[in-house]
Structures are given as C-alpha cells and as structure tokens.
Structure 1
Amino acid sequence: MTTVPINDAAALTHYIETRYHARHREQLPMLAAMAERVEDVHFGDDGVPDGLSVLLQQMIGEMEIHMKKEELILFPAIRRGGMPGIEAPIAVMRADHAGHDREVAEIRRRTGNLTLPDGACGTWTRLYEGLADFIDDLTEHMRLENEVLFPPFEPAGRADA
C-alpha cells in the first residue's frame, strides 16, 4: 500500500509514474530475457513455461503504450483538475487494466501459478521470483488507479455530475 495521501491526485500521478511505471520498464525486459533463456535451455522439460517470453514481449509493448497515454494525456489532465470528457480516457485505461489482468492470468497458467519444478536452475528461480514481484507491483498499480485515482474524475464520483 502507498503512503502518498490518496486525496492528492497530482501527487498520486507522480507517485505512480516514479514507483510503478519506472519499475515496470525495468522489470519486463529482464523477465522476458530470462523467460527466453529458460524456454531455450529447458526446451522439452516438464513445466517449461512455453510461450512466456513471447507473452512478456507483447506486454512490454502494450504497457509502454498504456503508460505513455497516462503520462502524456490522462495524468496531465488530472493534475489540472480534470477536463471535459475525461471519463473517456479513463474508460480506456480501465479496459487496458482488464487486459493486463488477463495477461497476468495467462502468466499464472503458463507457469503453473509460479510453481517451480524440482531442480529448477537459478535463472528459472529468479524468473519466477521476478514475475511474482512484477505481478504484485502491477496489481497494486492498477488498484491505485482504479480504486483511488480514477473515481473522483468519473461521473459517479464527481460533485458536478
């Protein structure tokens, strides 16, 4: 959980960018590279997360687009106190979040819910530890936006709605 005052939307947008966006940009390329190595080295072994590296590469692109939309469009509007029609980009972000939830479910499916096989190598172990951290970070990132940041700017949460 964050210690940023949740009633300060501008501070929360900066916190999300520096804590979560920056971290996802560090995490995903490393995880994709480790997944590719595990898939290559352990090809055909029981429990290999086949296709995980491709999924993570896809997520790198999708999340970069998502984070740029927040950084360049939505967050600046929130910092200005909102704008007419702000609910439309928020709806797009919520839809993206639902897609990220589906991707996390697919990561869990491909990895047997992050269950390592007996005798897993160090790279495989670090991969699953890193995936667990990434999933925790992404889950909290989306929770902060969906439950704290967005509602005051949506019709049901706005005093002028």
Structure 2
Amino acid sequence: MTEDLPPDDPAALTSFIEARYHARHREELPDLTALALRVERVHADAAKVPAGLAAVLQLMIGELEVHMKKEELILFPAIRRGGASGLENPIAVMRADHRDHEAMIGQIRELTDNLTLPDGACRSWTALYEGLGRFLDDFDAHLQLENEVLFPQFEPQGV
C-alpha cells in the first residue's frame, strides 16, 4: 500500500497529521489494549507474558489524547493562522510530551521483549504483537514528522 506523502505547507501538514496519525492512534490503541488484557489474562502463568502491557497502553491512551487535543485545539490552529511568533513555548511542551511518549514506547518494548513472540504463541498474542509493531512504526513516523519537519519551521534557529 502506498501512502500519500505529507504536504509541504505547514497548515496542510497539521491537517494531514490529524487525519492520518491522530485518527489512527485513536482507533488502534483501544483495540490493542483490549487484546493485551486478553493475552495477559489467558496467559497469566506464561513465562513471557507481557504483564502490565495493558496498563501501559491504557495510560498511553489517556496521555496521547490530552497531547493530541493540545495540538488540535491550540498549536495546530495557531499554525493554520500563519504561525505567528510565540509558538516556541507550545512546541517545547509538545516536544516534552513526545519524550514522555517515547519513554512509554520503551516500556512497551521492554515488556514485550521488543515484540518477540514466545514459541507457540496463540493467534491473539501474535495479533497483539503484529498490531503493536504497526502502531510503533506509525507512532515513530508521527513523532518524526512533527519533531523534524513541522516544529522546526516555527522555532528559532539553533533550537
């Protein structure tokens, strides 16, 4: 499947991020959390069960929702209005949030042994790790697009 390249225009890029990444995260994370709960419950005694994964994903849902709302209600509308000066502080907050999200991603990778399935993993466990793999790739692309493409356009040089 070929994905559209993100637009060069910052205002259009914010709309792309909302439609492509924010919507997908909102759709995928609850399903992944439910699947993680099922795997943790059914395989509670298994040596490599990702115990605590559902809790991390649930926390991530809440924190990501707050973060995405800040972008959608504050930062992105300011960018769409032309990105007048004064965006450095909201962008700094978004970057700090991104670092917090990356720490949660580290927890997910640790709990799942970097998405390494145990021998004989069931279909649910396999589906969970495959879905997490897609989410993590997507999330990484999302952060990279904001951190390396969008935000630098509105920060003083050297930040």
TM-score by length of 2: 0.95
Please say if residues 88 and 154 of structure 2, whose CA atoms lie closer than 8 Å, have aligned partners that are also in contact: yes
Count of residues in Structure 1 that have an aligned counterpart in Structure 2? 156
SS at match of 2:21: helix
**Who is 1:3 aligned against?**
5
State whether structure 2 residue 13 is matched by structure 1 residue 12: yes
Q: Which ranges of structure 1 fall in alignment gaps of 5 or more residues?
A: none
Superposition misfits of 4+ residues, deviation over 4 angstroms: none
CA distance in 2, matches of 1:56, 1:30: 10
SS at match of 1:127: helix
State whether structure 2 residue 124 is matched by structure 1 residue 123: yes
Cα 1:142/1:51, change in 2 over 3 Å: same
Alignment of 1:89-128 (within 5 A): 89-128=90-129
**Who is 2:151 aligned against?**
150
Please say if residues 83 and 154 of structure 2, whose CA atoms lie closer than 8 Å, have aligned partners that are also in contact: yes
Please say if residues 36 and 53 of structure 2, whose CA atoms lie closer than 8 Å, have aligned partners that are also in contact: yes
Supply the RMSD in Å over aligned alpha carbons.
Answer: 1.2
Please say if residues 105 and 136 of structure 2, whose CA atoms lie closer than 8 Å, have aligned partners that are also in contact: yes
Please say if residues 7 and 16 of structure 2, whose CA atoms lie closer than 8 Å, have aligned partners that are also in contact: no
| Deviation per residue, 1:13-39 (Å, 9 max, x gap) | 000000000000011000000000000
Percent identity over the alignment is 65
Q: For residue 5 of structure 1, what is the amino acid of its counterpart?
A: P
CA distance in 2, matches of 1:57, 1:21: 16
**Who is 1:76 aligned against?**
77
**What displacement does 1:84 show?**
3.4
**What displacement does 1:55 show?**
0.3
